[in-house]
Amino acid sequence: MITTVTQKNMITIPAEVGRHYGIKPGYRLDWQVVDGTDEIRVRVIPDRAELARRLLGKGRHFSPDRNAVQELVEERAADG
């Protein structure tokens, strides 16, 4: 896919690429020069809400029978 750079150095992300990577308003793109080539590597950085959503529940596989949040609440209550 080819895009054109505007006079203000802006580009449009092709719809197919945006859909494939789930790019939405608020996401950032990290542009990295690939040394020794005329290539650029672009990394999609989701917004904070998406990053938090992706992290939700990720630690459960370490101890699925444990409710760490409830344990913390009880610990804080006991400390007074």
pLDDT category, 42, cuts 50, 70, 90? Answer: very high
Count of residues in the chain: 80
Q: With the CA atoms of 71, 76, 77 and 80 taken in that order, what torsion angle do they form, in degrees rounded to the nearest 10?
A: 160
Lookup: tokens for 11: 């580009």
pLDDT category, 56, cuts 50, 70, 90? Answer: confident
Q: Where are the alpha helices (DSSP H) in the chain?
A: 15-21, 48-55, 68-79
Is 23:13 a contact under the CB 8 Å cutoff?
Answer: yes
User: Average pLDDT over the chain, rounded to whole?
Assistant: 90
DSSP 30: E
pTM (two decimals): 0.59
